[in-house]
Amino acid sequence: MTKRDIVIRVSDKTSLTQQEVMKVVQGTFDAIAEALAKGTTVELRNFGVFEVKVRKARVGRNPNAPATDVAIPARAVVKFKPGKNMRQAVIKLSPKTDAV
């Protein structure tokens, strides 16, 4: 699903035009990105939590030259933890396994 798909769905469900919805959606994404860039946690109830975590520096290996160590520096990354409702909806997609 793309941002355009989201805009079309919201526009169809509301009386707003696609241009109005696009401004709202883009404004929402910009606000989330801005907050994360400042290191602030963004919590959207029943959806999930975006937070910035710092990964430790570590040593990696080049698969083409396994004898060579590559230093990977510490860096900040965005983590997403889904909310309860989303987690339960996604779990329903899990394939059913037959117990033997």
Q: Is residue 98 pLDDT above 70, yes or no?
A: no
pLDDT in tens, 68-83: 899 999 999 999 999 9
- Return the axis-axis angle of helices 3-13 and 18-37, rounded to nearest 10°: 130
- pLDDT digit string, tens, across residues 11-21: 999 999 999 99
Q: Which fold has domain 48-94?
A: HU Protein; Chain A (4.10.520)
Would the pLDDT of 96 be above 80?
no
Question: Is it the case that residue 35 has pLDDT exceeding 80?
Answer: yes
Run of H or E including 41: none
CB atoms inside a 10 Å sphere around CB 82 = 14
Enumerate the H helices of the chain as residue ranges: 3-13, 18-37, 84-91
CB 52 within 8 A of CB 39: yes
Average pLDDT over residues 59-75: 90
d(CA 92, CA 85): 11
Q: Any idea where the domains of the chain sit in the sequence?
A: 1-40, 48-94
What percent of the chain clears pLDDT 70, i.e. is strictly above it?
Answer: 96
